[in-house]
Amino acid sequence: MDKSAPKAIHLKDYAPPPYLIDTVDLTFDLGEEVTRVRSSLQLRANPVRLPDGAPVPLVLDGQELKLVSLAIDGRTLEPAEYAIGPESLTIFDPPAAFALEVETELKPQENTSLEGLYRTSGNFCTQCEAEGFRKITYFLDRPDVMARYRTTITADALKYPVLLSNGNLVAASKMGHDGRHTVTWEDPFAKPCYLFALVAGVLVHVEDSYVTRSGRTVTLRIYVEPGNQDKCDHAMRSLKKSMAWDENVYGLEYDLDIFMIVAVGDFNMGAMENKGLNVFNTKYILARPESATDTDFLGVEAVVAHEYFHNWTGNRVTCRDWFQLSLKEGLTVFRDQEFSSDLNSRPVKRIADVQRLRAAQFPEDSGPMAHPIRPDSYIEINNFYTTTVYEKGAEVVRMIHTLLGAEGYRKGIDLYFERHDGQAVTCDDFVAAMEDATGKDLSQFRRWYSQAGTPELDISGEYDGHGRTYRLTVRQSCPPSPGQPVKQPYHIPLALGLLDPQGADIPLRLKTEDVPKGTSRVLDVTEAEQVFEFADVPAPPVPSLLRGFSAPVKLRMSYTDDDLTFLMANDSDAFNRWEAGQTLGTRLLLGLVEDRAAGRPLELSRGFLDALDKILNDPALDHAFAAQALTLPSEGYLGQQMPVIDVDGIHEVRGFARKAIAAHLRDDLLSTYRALGGNEPFAIDAAIGRRSLKNLALGYLMSLEDAEAVELCVGQFHNAHAMTDVIAALGLLNDTHLPQRDAALARFYETWKNEPLVVDKWFSIQAMSERPETLAEVRSLLNHPAFEIRNPNKVYALIGGFAGGNAVRFHDSSGAGYEFLADQVLTLNGLNPQVASRMVKLFARWRKYDDRRQAFMRAQLERIVGAPNLSPDVFEIASKSLQAA
């Protein structure tokens, strides 16, 4: 690493801030060329850090700012009293308590990073988390500095009729002679600056209201660009459901008189929970059945809830420092997962969440970027908004919930808010509240916060017919992670049941107990090796382990194929019924990959086909669940199970298996399709399940590419009302060389060219086509008039769709896909480091491939690390990816 490489920040170096800020008074003068920001701060020495009030220099964060003036208690400072660095403003000798006035200038129209104050569709908008506020004004930009804000905005009244900030509107002027108008907002709750927000522009809103449990009426508004008002109903309904759910399940009420959401087209991530003024990516607000899929609808519901839930878990109680990010994110993801489970099907939601964890978090946790949910260090904090901090973080909170039970968990949460409302705290404070409220010892459990890597459970069972006992031996281990060669045993909640030969659950009594404790229970696994002995077991049981995926671990158990089909058919735990099918499918497909490599003929086991047949023809089964159970393990998941990922082998074998299943079940798939295929009116309910099973059937049928299937598919594409069905059909045609493919793509674009979110789908579908010409097509789509590299959604759709969603084409053995990605990373690096960094992460797993591909990927990573003007974001990911394994 060269000398100029950006430096890491360590958790162990945390120190409280030397100064506190009590109030912030901001005035924004928004202009086309220059925007002026005046900031008046009330500061005082922090008694915790400077007990005698002893003054130390005040170092404020600031980036890309032009300082106009600086005054303390009304006196302009002399140049010798302060210094400006590239990322800071130091005042050498401030008093113990004082008013600071800072005036700065910035150019939001030139800000392509979409962090700080920037422009989107002609409007002004902010994004401050994690460290964007320092691009607006000089400040102590850290979450443990909490202040009360008053924000005044002045702007051209015609260009920017709507002016918004956090809290309540306290003053508004009419247009003056200069054509400008002014508003003032005041937020009564102290907050860290990352929750500050400002929006200005031409926006329309839909309005509703919500009466809280205690009888207060809250105004709810969703602001969108004109023309989008008719796409907000679902988001508004989701918001009201979230507010009710948080009152019912957590006893938490909303606290301001108004809650606003603004949807913008240019946004780096999904959404942002600014106090009273959430800013959203349009993708997670706008939804109508004709133009959004069922997945989009569920996404809107979950993200609206997630951001709303942050009002308590994140805003009222916030993070002491960014290492504690999972304090708010893991907890809030757990909350939104539970919200969605309560509203929709619990097993279907759990399966989807586990699939996501396995697809993204498990690879991260075993790669060069592996980190604990509470990282020890970072170079660029924006790189740590990861699936580990979010989704594994949620699993950790879920395990606490499992270990304490719903009631104990709620006691812990109540204590957490009682102790910490209005504070900036740590993950440890959260765990301590859980312990203190219940008396449960979570000291060993805390290792989930400090150790990286996915633990592995090796379980074996032994039945003793004479003693009628069943012994489970549980061994746990965890592979090394960067900087963590050795791991200590975890405290793992292992939920399980035992099935008798008829498939019924056996009452579970451990040998040390007098009476059985239910038929499904949670064991505390704490040792490297531990034995659990069950009594009164009448016959050799089949164990159902890790029910509901009770811990984020990899499970190894020597099931026979028959055990797995037995569990698929009989387990009372729906998640494990699905899991058994996946385990069997994985085993069979990996076997076929080996057969292919050895030149043996491919054949799919009859028993597996029969098991799928049973699922397809089980009328009692929930449709959405059946669709999940009939879906083969993904290519990505299969790859993870191999020491060296055989990209082509996996792709070919999975395609072969799909065809074999389709051929075997053709008649039943056709009748399923026909039974569910009605063009029914759209609803977000059980119809989602019907659509997913119907489209699954169509997918299998299309793998045969016979005339009947093609006719159904083309018919569906042309006639369906719901976008879910249109996109499913288009996605299937998209993988073919049929003449109907290009016609359908062209027609789709013509129909939807004025809807940016639908055009994103059009880009990503093409990027994910398995056709060999895909890379060439993606390259030419970069020049399509609808593609815009400054728009994150477009980048995620086209470049991300190809490099992250099309393994067989991205990993083409020519290395051309890698060169393409590196080119894009380098372009994006100069425009938007956060987006560039997300793209460069797609190289991180390069060591999992064969030598030839490794050499190609490594060369591209080296090229990136050696490039001039590399952002810390890209540098951190690329350099850590290259570090020795």
- Catalytic residue, chosen from 307, 364, 579, 755, is 307
d(CA 25, CA 366): 46
Q: Of 97, 18, 98, which is closest to residue 57 (Cα–Cα)? A: 18
Identify which of residues 113 and 879 has a Cβ nearer to ligand B3K in the complex: 113
> Are the CB atoms for 39 and 30 separated by under 8 Å?
no
Q: Which amino acid is at 415?
A: L
| Distances from the Cα of 270 to the Cα of 232, 254, 383, 796, angstroms | 16, 22, 15, 12
The interface with Zn ion within residues 333-392 (CB under 5 A) comprises: none
Pick what 103 binds: Zn ion, ligand B3K, none; C-beta below 5 to 8 Å, kind-dependent: none
Q: How many CB atoms lie within 10 A of CB 217?
A: 9
Q: Of 615, 193, 166, 130, which is closest to residue 378 (Cα–Cα)? A: 130
Identify which of residues 273 and 635 has a Cβ nearer to Zn ion in the complex: 273
Q: How far is the CB of 338 from ligand B3K (least distance, A)?
A: 16
Identify which of residues 238 and 332 has a Cβ nearer to Zn ion in the complex: 332
Pick what 870 binds: ligand B3K, Zn ion, none; C-beta below 5 to 8 Å, kind-dependent: none
Q: How far is the CB of 259 from ligand B3K (least distance, A)?
A: 15
Identify which of residues 273 and 296 has a Cβ nearer to ligand B3K in the complex: 273
Q: How far is the CB of 325 from Zn ion (least distance, A)?
A: 9
Q: How far is the CB of 103 from ligand B3K (least distance, A)?
A: 27
User: Strands, DSSP E only, in 500-566?
Assistant: 509-510, 521-525, 529-535, 542-545, 554-557
User: Count residues contacting Zn ion (CB under 5 A)?
Assistant: 2
Q: How far is the CB of 435 from ligand B3K (least distance, A)?
A: 26
d(CA 116, CA 108): 8
125-164 footprint of Zn ion as x/- string (CB under 5 A)? ----------------------------------------
Pick what 385 binds: Zn ion, ligand B3K, none; C-beta below 5 to 8 Å, kind-dependent: ligand B3K
CA atoms within 13 A on the CB side of 318: 27
Q: How far is the CB of 274 from Zn ion (least distance, A)?
A: 12
DSSP 680-694: PPP-SSHHHHHHHHH
User: Strands, DSSP E only, in 368-508?
Assistant: 377-378, 424-425, 456-464, 469-477, 492-499
Q: How far is the CB of 613 from ligand B3K (least distance, A)?
A: 43
DSSP 183-216: EEEEEEEEE-GGG--EEEES-EEEEEEEE-TTS-
Pick what 382 binds: Zn ion, ligand B3K, none; C-beta below 5 to 8 Å, kind-dependent: ligand B3K
Helix runs in 798-850, H state only:
801-805, 807-810, 816-831, 833-840
DSSP 336-357: HHHHHHHHS-HHHHHHHHHHHI
Contact residues for ligand B3K, defined by CB under 6 A? 129-130, 269, 271-273, 306-307, 310, 329, 382, 385
Identify which of residues 62 and 116 has a Cβ nearer to ligand B3K in the complex: 116
d(CA 288, CA 301): 13
Identify which of residues 271 and 676 has a Cβ nearer to ligand B3K in the complex: 271
Pick what 130 binds: ligand B3K, Zn ion, none; C-beta below 5 to 8 Å, kind-dependent: ligand B3K
d(CA 521, CA 530): 17
Pick what 690 binds: Zn ion, ligand B3K, none; C-beta below 5 to 8 Å, kind-dependent: none
The interface with Zn ion within residues 308-337 (CB under 5 A) comprises: 329, 332
Which residues, listed in sequence order, are joined to residue 153 by a DSSP beta bridge? Answer: 28, 183
The interface with Zn ion within residues 201-240 (CB under 5 A) comprises: none
Identify which of residues 318 and 355 has a Cβ nearer to ligand B3K in the complex: 318
Pick what 425 binds: Zn ion, ligand B3K, none; C-beta below 5 to 8 Å, kind-dependent: none
Pick what 748 binds: ligand B3K, Zn ion, none; C-beta below 5 to 8 Å, kind-dependent: none
d(CA 148, CA 145): 10
d(CA 506, CA 611): 24
Residues 6+ apart with CB under 8 A from 600: none
In the numeric block, which tokens belong to residue 572?
């009372």
Q: How far is the CB of 826 from ligand B3K (least distance, A)?
A: 21
> Is 329 a residue of the active site?
no
Identify which of residues 333 and 370 has a Cβ nearer to ligand B3K in the complex: 333
Q: How far is the CB of 336 from ligand B3K (least distance, A)?
A: 9
Pick what 269 binds: ligand B3K, Zn ion, none; C-beta below 5 to 8 Å, kind-dependent: ligand B3K
Q: Which amino acid is at 783?
A: N
Identify which of residues 43 and 381 has a Cβ nearer to ligand B3K in the complex: 381
Q: Which residues are catalytic?
A: 307
Residues that bind Zn ion (CB under 5 A): 329, 332
